[in-house]
Chain A
Amino acid sequence: MIEQEANQPRRGSAALDEARLRQQAIGVRLRQMFDDVVNEPIPDEFLDILRKADRRAAEKG
């Protein structure tokens, strides 16, 4: 998308392109920040809690 825009004739739009690029860079970093946590291994605690909850459900019936 950005490439397309860069290939278009410039009508004083350099500043606009620049702003778009920077906005995109923020977007990339934002996703990176989020994905860094998503990619962490799940702490055992979470699965333990879920196992216990499941057992409770099974017992309650």
Chain B
Amino acid sequence: MAARDAPRSDRESKDDEAFKRELVTLIPHLRAFARTLAGDPSSADDLAQDAMVKAWDARASFQMGTNMKAWTFMILRNQFYSEKRRSWRQTQLDQESAERTLVAVDDPEAPVALDELRLGLRMLPAEQREALILVGAGGFAYEEAAEICGCAVGTVKSRVSRARRALHAVLDAGAYDRDGGAAGDAMRAILADAERLSTVR
């Protein structure tokens, strides 16, 4: 390949190339993770793009050969929570947005089971939701998820198991109606039960 007359050293640009190739393969995963954090697909993509650019800008601090997926997920997660702190409009409880989702989700194309899973996920406390998604869907080991979330491995394990129990309870309760408040209350009651049961040792 005819090298462009870049002032960077060959080694540097070669490293950049390798980094970029790997980063591109991670874009679909970053999008999927962002989708589980942000409320709607377009703000999720904004989040994933910001994380991608942050990762690119910080490439010098990344050690090639280590787990880039975990590293970029950590960047994305930090980005999400720092934006959330900045924006007063997003300070409502997850519960509230869950209730709006209960009303808003009405896509006849979507399989019902997935819909219910999404709703159930929205009802979980954020830290349980992300732990479950990283381990249960993202393919991360508990140790990696702990690193991404900046907490102890044991904490991740307990969050995942609580999330599983709570989701199980919510989905078991099955056909809840979708007209907002009442469904939200019902789900809250179910989750409170699940939480109570899961703390009993």
Contact = CB atoms under 8 A, between A and B. Distances in A.
Interface of A: 19, 22-23, 26-27, 29-40, 42-43, 45-47, 49-50, 53-54, 57-58, 61
Interface in B7-64: 7-8, 13, 16, 20, 23-24, 27-29, 31-33, 35-36, 45, 48-49, 52-53, 56-57
B113 interface: yes
15 contacts: A27-B136, A29-B113, A30-B136, A34-B138, A35-B32, A37-B32, A40-B28, A42-B28, A46-B27, A46-B45, A49-B52, A50-B20, A57-B16, A58-B8, A58-B13
B29 A38 contact: yes
B32 A34 contact: yes
B133 A30 contact: yes
A32 B117 CA distance: 11
Contact of A26 (B7, B56, B164): B164
B168 interface: yes
Given A27-B136, A30-B137, A34-B32, 14 more contacts: A26-B167, A26-B171, A29-B114, A30-B117, A33-B118, A34-B36, A34-B137, A38-B32, A39-B28, A42-B28, A46-B48, A50-B20, A50-B56, A53-B56
A33 B45 contact: no
Would you call the interface of chain B mostly helix, strand, loop, or mixed? Answer: helix
B16 A31 contact: no
A58 B4 contact: yes
Contacts of B118: 33
A61 B117 contact: no
B200 interface: no
Contact of B28 (A37, A50, A61): A37
A38 B31 contact: yes
Given A34-B133, A38-B29, A46 B49 contact: yes
A40 B29 CA distance: 10
A39 B27 CA distance: 11
B35 A37 contact: yes
A58 B53 contact: no
Contacts of A46: 27, 45, 48-49, 52
A57 B15 CA distance: 12
Contacts of A61: 6-8
A37 B20 CA distance: 21
Contacts of A22: 168, 171-172
Contacts of B7: 61
Contact of A58 (B6, B57, B132): B6
